[in-house]
Amino acid sequence: MNSETSTEAAISGILREFGEIKGTIYPDKDLHTELGVKSVNFISILLALEDKFAITIEDSQFSKARTFNSLVSLVKGTIN
């Protein structure tokens, strides 16, 4: 498995566990309004991402990442 696939798989797993997403995670759908992630769960998602990838994500950057694809880009940009 290449690093891109494993990064995306890890983020998907975090969204399923902490965002309580049961169905398909569409890459460009809004996590909150279209995929049903509750606002209260976003802090758990942020902390899980930081822990999993050993990174620090600024709150202001995280709040702008509203889709799966934007989260992947944010994590990858923070790792590099």
pLDDT tens for each residue of 12-68: 999 999 999 988 999 999 999 999 999 999 999 999 999 999 999 999 999 999 999
Q: In this predicted model, which residue has the larger pLDDT, 14 or 3?
A: 14
**Mean pLDDT score, 73-79:** 93
Q: How confident is the model at residue 4 (pLDDT cuts 50, 70, 90)?
A: low
55-71: burial string, b at 16+ Cβ within 10 Å, e else: eebeeeebeebbbbebb
Structure tokens at 69: 């694809």
Domains contained in the chain, CATH given: 3-79 (1.10.1200.10)
Torsions phi, psi for 79 (to 5 deg) = -70, -40
pTM to 2 decimal places: 0.89
Q: How confident is the model at residue 1 (pLDDT cuts 50, 70, 90)?
A: very low
